[in-house]
Chain A
Amino acid sequence: MQPEPARGRPGHNISMWGAPGSGKTTLLAALFIALARRNDDWKIIGSDPASSDYLIEKTNALSRGKVFPEASMTLERYHWTLIGPAPRRSGFWGRKAKPGPPTRIGISMIDAPGGLFGTGRRPAGAPSGVAAAADGAGDPRRQELLDNLEQSRGIVFLFDPIREFTLGDAFDHMHAPLTRLAERMLAAGEFLDGKLPHHIAVCVTKFDDPRVLETAEKRRLLTTDIDDPHGVPRVTSEDAKELFRELCQVSASGNADMVLNALDQFFHADRIRFFATSSIGFYIDRRTKMFDWDDFQNMLPGEADEDSRIRGQLHPINVVEPMLWLGQRLAAIRPATEVS
């Protein structure tokens, strides 16, 4: 009668962290397509029916409906398993090795509305003292979000350079939860070496936006994967930090550099990795099947009362890589990926 979702549930909690509209939900929605575009054997499978539904529906909406997902209004949880190729084993005395079991990494993703990471400002027109705490800590959803951050050991932090250029509030959406998280970890005795135990994948989103791409080009950070048949420009993880720093220079508030400093202060250097990410990728012409510097925008902004749409096929960039990196690092620390 009741399903058995607990069986085979993944053990690694990963939280999405980012301001409203930074692309958290879209990045998750593009995961299946991102894996399907790769030439390796990695795949993603839902660990319960609701999580599978999400993969199917969002993949359909992006690939066929060409529309972006709606904004989240509450904490959503997805339980997935990343299944990859079997690790290679060398045979004894040159004999042919037996294939091992495929790599399985269980992940539990938490996608929260971006506003929960904010400073919890009072409702417009409300008298002073309405928000009990400066960061809205009395909100049960924020408490749940912090509970999840405390339990997780992996964070996907989304930095939206367009929003930073327009509003400059990335730091506002980082410091309050970070401070609360550090407080909890300190109380739990997991802040002993002065750093959080989490791994954090910092994703510079909307890499397909011309302003971001041009910034990367001007800094000569672009490369092309020789195995990529479309010749799509990319920024390597090593250079993504430089792109992040460069984009911080144009922050509307001038506070973006504090994000970088906070990352260095609160996380181990070897547990931070930067990615230049685009959930929809660049437009690839169907005839030439090559990236075209004169025609690469894949998002069609909607007019008056129309949804923004995706123009062509999706070619996600660095969408699955942060998940795989986190999953592999967490699995290496705690190999038991399944709980029964």
Chain B
Amino acid sequence: MTIGEIGFEWALEGKRPGGHDDYELLSWSDARLGPEVFEEIRSRYATGISADLPQVTIAVAATRENERVTRHVVLAIQEWSGHRDATNRKIAYTRWFYVPYDELAAHRVSYEALYHALAGLPATPSPPLAVRVPGFDPAAVVPGPDALSAAALLLTGRPVCVVGADAAPMIERLRFLDTVAALLPYGMRSRLTAATWTSSTARHKIRLSFARHAPEDAHEVRWGYGAEITRRDSPAHVCLDLLTRSEVRLADMLRGLAGQTEPLSFGPADRPVAVRLLEHSGYPELLSGSGNEAEPEREPVPLGPEEPSDSGEPGPATERGAVAPASGAPARPAHEPGPERTGGVLGPAGTPPPARNARRLTLPVRSVLNRLGRGHGREPAPGATTGGTAAPTTPYRRAADEGPSAVPLSMRAALGGLEQADHGKRARSGRGPHAKVMLTVAFATAGITLICIGVLVLVRSPGGDPPTGPDVAGAEPGTVVIQAPKRPEDAFATNVVAEVVRRAGHRDDIRRSDTPAVGAPAEKPAVILAEGPDSALAGAPTAAPGFVQVGSIPVPNPDVLVYDIGLITPEKLRAAFQGQDKEVRVSLPDTAPRELAETLKRRYPSLRLEPAPGQDPLRALRDKTVQAAVVPRSAAGDDGYARLDGPDGLPSRTLFVFCNVAALDVLHDDLGRVAASVDPGVLASADFDSPKEAAARVVGAVLPPSRPPAVSKAGEQESDQGRGSFWQALALIAGGAVFGFLALLVAIWVPSRFEPRT
């Protein structure tokens, strides 16, 4: 990995501390680029403001100076400034960094590396304006199904929005953007706009974005899962196929793509080129066998402003930033062989791989990826290059010049379809004189086969044989037993597990007892919720033999801490719990469990606890004799007092989740992921007053909507099966008839369309 020195220019957007004005440019590097360039970029790529800063936006721009066109990748870091405006609102700073694309491409720098290099600079950097950035290591990229889907869908020309990543940290999202970009030719980074966060209620011009809800015109990709890509999304379908071919070594392909640094847009002219580069990166022997004399067969890449729906990244058109015709595309640097793929992730060396790459795939993507050996790595195809040989960076040559055996026929056909779709014209078929006979026989065979199967299904349907296909989750369909504690406050954890089970397409059977670990079935799918060892109110965890711990779920406390905001701020109340303020008084109902009072006294000895009547636990707070009160959750919302969120309040409990092997088979790692997503800091809020709704919300943020239950009730199953079989048979027979008719048509009418091979 090389370390390169990258130059940059910068601008700072924000408000002046204590000022009345809106956001504006505060300062900028007074070098080659003027403020008008920064003004335009900041207004063009505004994404809104997130409550969770920092966030990063990647924009692009082309500037012209003395007839020389310079492409820039613009990295914007939005973060809190620590200042406030005249109305006491927090001021966010957005730091815009213009980095020449040529310099990035020379070292093939990743967004994450660039972010790490620039984020540490002061708000107004001083010359020399250059940072040292490590080069990009494509071998460290391990794309999940979401990244594969996003990369494929980007090549449809429409924006792509990733949803369901609310809980993912910014740096992980940025790494995802890098992974997606790594699945495309590096040159597309010259036109790729991306953001780790965008407001769902704002319109923006970001091509690859994260948001809570996808815009109407964007493809939606679910974090950790991907998207269902149908044949209607033909370019995406083809690209996904290219990216997931079992005979292609991913490391080779990524190395080849990283070497393709010539700027490419997402416009209709360049997308087919990008697809061909994908193809060639997957089959480096094509290039090595075909020489490296040819230039890409494509239209010139327009550098002028393009509509976002087309290519999306116009360049600032200003005095010094006017865009120019294509002439100064950077020369491609020599490709440098990267290390072998080691299973790491894109990012600094030594960073552990993110767990999300191991997430379960949506069915369509999984079916494609199954060809990779169920996600256990790619097996090199027979004849494919092995070892660390780097893909050459030779530009693309048109397919007609290549050896006919180099690319599989299926891919050639798919690419042909893509070209036809993109260019809107029908290419002439090169089928031979036997095509008619072949087609007729194929249709006839398919028709007869379908009719036979249909008749067979029809004959067998009355008996109602049980379905023999494997369950979608890969396990015996049925019920998952949930053994949970009886305490009312444990309803949230119980409902979380039940919701996960339902979303996996199974029924839940909740059994509550004081000793949930006792009597848990070992042979059937079962989940046990048991007390954790860290609980202040409970003993050590117990689990039955054959059960393994998959996670832990914090328990919303039955009591919450409320306070009068007119008497104390939440910051001061937290400080009191940490022993920094000994004047704060907190009331505790006299009906509270003795253990609670003892625990509070033990943990927070400096806290002044005052008794309050159990019938009216808020009385002391109303009388202003205390600043805060511990009250039952049911009484907390009565008078509109604020609750103290966060882990600093009352002692908390945790339930550990144990699964047996059968449960793991049907739930995979869903439970662990959901459990890990529960933020203990918000459990006091009213969102958790209703355990069932809260559980559905928590699970819904991590898992996709539920699949239909794998097993229906016995009676329904039989009748549905009978009906289903009948209609299935009918459909098969009808399909067979259609094929037969098509065979007839081909035999009679079609011959004139086929031309003999010349």
Contacts and interface: CB of A to CB of B under 8 A. Distances in A.
A190 interface: no
A232 to B, nearest CB: 16
Interface residues of B, number: 55
Contacts of B82: 305
Contacts of B40: 138
Interface in A180-224: none
B361 to A, nearest CB: 15
A76 B201 contact: yes
B569 A308 contact: no
B626 to A, nearest CB: 14
Q: Which of B28, B84, B87, B212 has the most CB of A within 10 A?
A: B87
Interface string B677-708: 00000000111000000000000000000000
B35 A126 contact: yes
Q: Which of A64, A73, A311 has the most CB of B within 10 A?
A: A73
Contact of B88 (A113, A132, A141, A301): A301
A51 B90 CA distance: 24
Contact of B204 (A49, A60, A63, A74): A74
A127 B213 CA distance: 41
B84 A305 contact: yes
Interface stretch (A1-9, A91-99, A253-261, A332-340): A1-9
A144 B228 CA distance: 33
Interface in A141-156: 141, 144
Nearest to B205: A140
Contacts of A76: 48, 199, 201-202
A115 B27 CA distance: 18
B643 A64 contact: yes
Interface residues of A, number: 64
Q: Which of B44, B86, B89 has the most CB of A within 10 A?
A: B89
A309 B565 contact: yes
B201 A51 contact: yes
Contacts, number: 152
Which DSSP category, helix, strand, loop or mixed, fits chain B's interface? loop
B39 interface: yes
A286 B202 CA distance: 39
Nearest to B83: A305
A70 B49 contact: yes
A59 to B, nearest CB: 11
Contact of B203 (A21, A131, A144): A144
A77 B202 CA distance: 6
Which DSSP category, helix, strand, loop or mixed, fits chain A's interface? loop
Contacts of B569: 306, 309
A308 B87 contact: yes
A5 B216 CA distance: 7
A176 to B, nearest CB: 14
B662 to A, nearest CB: 32
Contacts of B46: 73-74, 141
A115 B90 contact: no
Interface string B88-127: 1110100000000000000000000000000000000000
Interface in B45-103: 46-49, 51, 82, 84-90, 92
Given A50-B200, A313-B640, A130 B34 contact: yes
Contact of B565 (A21, A118, A310): A310
B680 to A, nearest CB: 18
A64 B227 CA distance: 37
A163 interface: yes
Contact of B39 (A123, A144, A286, A306): A123
Nearest to A79: B201
B642 A64 contact: yes
Contacts of B22: 20, 71, 113-116, 118
Interface of A: 1-3, 5-6, 20-21, 48-51, 53-54, 60, 63-66, 68, 70-78, 113-116, 118, 122-127, 130-132, 138-141, 144, 163, 166-167, 286-287, 300-302, 305-313
5 contacts: A73-B46, A124-B24, A124-B25, A125-B27, A312-B566
Given A21-B89, A77-B201, 17 more contacts: A1-B228, A20-B20, A49-B200, A60-B687, A71-B22, A71-B23, A71-B85, A73-B23, A118-B22, A124-B26, A126-B25, A126-B35, A131-B39, A132-B36, A139-B43, A300-B565, A300-B566
Interface of B: 20-28, 34-36, 39-40, 43-44, 46-49, 51, 82, 84-90, 92, 199-204, 212-214, 216, 220, 227-228, 565-566, 569, 571, 622, 639-640, 642-643, 685-687
